[in-house]
Structure 1
């Protein structure tokens, strides 16, 4: 993968209903300093991982953010085959994110065997 996707509510709902594989969804806002720092991390990360990364602007999709109980920024969710399996809050470096994704994958492989 080489690009962070910009998602709308419609994209997120489609991912929940039809999505296959792993996707990291970042909930952020243009005015949020830590979100801008995380944006750089995710842009770099997207070029070297085998899962998709998407961004949702909470100012443009405030209803969705409220429904998903996004209370602080930045927040991220990891979805596997459309199901939310992990929630992350706050700025993280790429190695922290990759560690969590690896743990999620190990947990999935144990439950799917």
Structure 2
């Protein structure tokens, strides 16, 4: 295969993986989170919605921060053990939150 073909194929795979991760993050968020965080709100603790300003004020700046919060839960939020939600799925949800609730 010519180098141009390899680069094109790699670019297409990367684009597909990015779109798939974004889609999976939304689907996973809808399944695991949206019942309590519908459209990024938090009816139980209105001062802690998922929007960037509030996330950052509560120390949730990165995907890793959000995954750690998912793992430990607290203040009305259930904890999601790795058996319930894989690390890859938790990262997909965290990425979706960061992209969507800016």
Higher helix proportion (structure 1 or 2): 2
TM-score calculated relative to the size of structure 1: 0.26
Question: Which protein has greater RCO, CA pairs closer than 8 Å, 6+ apart?
Answer: 1
TM-score calculated relative to the size of structure 2: 0.28
